[in-house]
A and B are shown apart, each in its own frame.
Chain A
Amino acid sequence: MKKQNNPDAQTGKKSLRFMERILITGVFLWFLGLIVVPFCGILKQTFSKNWHQAFASLTSSTALHSFGITIIICIAVAIINTIFGTMLAYMLTRQTFRGQLIIESLLDLPFAVSPVVIGFMLIILFGPNGWMGRIFSFFNIKIIYALPGMIIATLFVTLPFVAKEIIPILRQFGSEQEEAAQVLGASAWQNFRKITLPTIKWGLGYGLTLTIARSIGEFGAVLVVSGNILNKTQSATLYIHDQFTDLNYIGAYSASIILIILSILVINFIQFISKQKAG
């Protein structure tokens, strides 16, 4: 019996290894074709001939302003999402209330709905005739076709990232350590700061990375809400789009590269720190 079994097992293993190799090669090619080749293409397009021109278009006031807008949006969204995303995750895991499940399933909505549609939703709500828009215009605050609207649109699109990262961590972490701190006299805030936060900080960091990366790249929702006004409400992605439609390819490519590099830096920064910490 044993002698019969062994060769079977070995051929099983061999065919598994073969399949593994095919799969790995496939994934590698897929990655190469989808991400690496286009990126290299864009690099070549921009810098092979006209890097002077690229530099000039990047340092134009319109380009710089658009990057400034993107950075402001990123910072605002990062701060707001850290606070509300964490609160949302905490509420969904630590409290029981009616409608919890509905909220949790709605959390996926920003992933599912097209950003352009989200932009229109915001215009309906915050526009001059929208009921929120009327309230704000009473206080002379402009939301649509202004920076606040762009921030709100980006917030909406990036809402799930932080919460979605933290919820499973909090679920797995359980509430025992929090209860232990509570019995030892810790207030809710002390408990959060000393027990919960150290536990979720890497999840939070990762969620934040995704949030920032998405904020840098967001186009559709921001386009609808901002009105794309030069030197006013033009973010970096909108600038790239404009350059592209104006057939100024050098400008579009060079700005794109900056955005890509920014995103890569942001994503790797957190991973680098978490690996350092773990190692």
Chain B
Amino acid sequence: MASIMVENLSKRFGNFVAVDDVSFRAEEGELVALLGPSGSGKSTILRMIAGLEIPDRGKTYLYGKDVTHTVSRKRKVGFVFQHYALFKHMTVEKNIGFGLEIMKKKKDFIKDKVEKLINLVNLNGYESHFPAQLSGGQRQRVALARALAPEPKIMLLDEPFGSLDAKIRENLANWIRDLHQKINVTSVFVTHDQNEAIKIADKIVAINRGKVDQIGTAKEVYEHPETKFVASFIGNTNVIVGKLHDHKLYIENMAGEIPTKSLKAPKNGSMVLLVRPEDILISKKKTRECPIKGTIKDIYYRGSAYEINILTGDIIINVVEEKNRFQKKKIANNATVYLGFVKYNIFNAPEGRKIIEEKLSQLGYLE
């Protein structure tokens, strides 16, 4: 039985179709990401699951029970708001204990539980602070603890890291992943950040213009992208298609070959090469390290480095080189240069799964 199941959810705001026929399910214990650009309707879906928004059409089931017309206070879900929505006039302690107080739990019980939660979210010493006295990350953790206090079976998180800076985001994302495993809940979180979705979600529901684009595990979504958005995960990596023959990689329409000694038991056949821009050498002369001929197309100044586009065969390769090193070479537009790959990942299509995973984790998309 799925913990959460939504069927054909639709919602309009005036003439604007916010959510259009969305269906998906979250199995017990899963951490599901609703991924999409802002304005794609993903928050509205979350709010409909929580009962904060009433769908025009469609049904919501929580643990097999139709809750479409159940008021939100009876759905027993935990909800973390994008801007935390902490009760400004209450201390951290009171905020976290609010749900239990509403449930009319005994004072001792509440005190005990709140203390445990404060430990869990590392806010010891902040018990009697007010939200205004906390940093963004701290507020976020109070919001989490508050949602967790009544021990909901389902947690809904709306852009949980949206308004935090990059470093805290990453820590908090990992922390939430751990927490999710520690306590047995089913969670759905909304995000516009692919990295975050890939990093912590078991399942990704990609939303675009109120519709579901694709549903799958992080890996599935990578390997069998049904939409273009996966391409953006690969990000700033050169993807080169070549053929492997006798331990040498011949790149289609590319002048030159690459020795591939380092490859363990490579098979002959079609290959895909992933090379990061900073792992490419540029030389004015053809050497053993730099066997591939190319022509400089664009040179961009990027502060401490130069970004150079080099045409080889009929593909453009993106290279980043440190400022001083590049300047010494005195290379101008349209000059002929030779390229070499210092580091690269190579895989053939059928065996690609593992290598893509590794590659992605190297790039920081997977833990």
Contacts and interface: CB of A to CB of B under 8 A. Distances in A.
B222 interface: no
Given A176-B85, A187-B73, A199-B89, A182 B52 contact: yes
Contacts of B138: none
Interface in A139-169: none
Interface in B136-169: 146-147, 150
Interface string A176-211: 110111111111001000110011000000000000
Nearest to B77: A183
Interface in B98-148: 98-99, 102-103, 146-147
Contact of B81 (A179, A185, A186, A194): A179
Nearest to A177: B85
Contact of A185 (B52, B83, B88, B150): B150
B195 interface: no
Interface SS majority for chain A = helix
Please tell me the size bucket of the interface on A.
Answer: 10 to 19
Contacts of B78: 183
A198 B103 CA distance: 20
Given A190-B102, A195-B87, A184 B150 contact: yes
B89 A185 contact: no
A198 B89 contact: yes
A100 to B, nearest CB: 16
B73 A185 contact: yes
Contacts of B146: 180, 184
Contacts of B89: 198-199
Contacts, number: 60
B79 interface: yes
Nearest to B83: A176
A33 B75 CA distance: 63
A194 B97 CA distance: 13
A198 B85 CA distance: 15
Question: B52, B74, B77: which has the most chain A beta carbons within 10 Å?
Answer: B52
B99 A185 contact: yes
B86 to A, nearest CB: 8
Contacts of B50: 183
B295 interface: no
A183 B87 contact: no
A179 B80 CA distance: 11
Contacts of A181: 87, 98, 102
B336 interface: no
B43 to A, nearest CB: 12
A166 to B, nearest CB: 16
B72 A183 contact: yes
Nearest to B51: A183
A184 B71 CA distance: 12
A185 B52 CA distance: 12
A186 B81 CA distance: 16
Nearest to A187: B73
B214 to A, nearest CB: 29
Question: B50, B77, B78, B99: which has the most chain A beta carbons within 10 Å?
Answer: B99
A180 B51 CA distance: 11
A188 B171 CA distance: 37
A190 B78 CA distance: 18
Interface in B56-79: 71-79
Question: B72, B75, B76, B86: which has the most chain A beta carbons within 10 Å?
Answer: B72
Contacts of B76: 185
Contacts of A185: 73-74, 76, 99, 102-103, 150
Nearest to B104: A185
Contacts of B73: 182-187
Nearest to B94: A194
A277 to B, nearest CB: 11
A186 B87 contact: no
A194 B72 CA distance: 18
Contact of A180 (B71, B85, B103): B85
Nearest to A198: B89
Contacts of A195: 87
A199 B88 contact: yes
Contact of B79 (A177, A183, A194, A199): A183
Given A176-B81, A195-B87, A183 B98 contact: no
Nearest to A190: B102
Contacts of A177: 85-88
A186 B74 CA distance: 9
Question: A184, A186, A187, A195: which has the most chain B beta carbons within 10 Å?
Answer: A184
Interface in B283-305: none
Interface string B28-45: 000000000000000000
Nearest to B73: A185
A41 B194 CA distance: 75
Given A179-B79, A180-B87, A187-B73, 11 more contacts: A177-B86, A177-B87, A180-B146, A181-B87, A183-B52, A183-B73, A184-B98, A184-B146, A184-B147, A194-B98, A198-B89
19 contacts: A177-B85, A180-B85, A181-B98, A182-B52, A183-B52, A183-B72, A183-B79, A183-B147, A184-B98, A184-B147, A185-B76, A185-B103, A186-B73, A186-B102, A187-B73, A190-B102, A195-B87, A199-B88, A199-B89
The 5 closest A-B pairs by CB, nearest first: A184-B99, A176-B85, A180-B85, A183-B79, A198-B89
Interface of B: 50-52, 71-79, 81, 83, 85-89, 98-99, 102-103, 146-147, 150
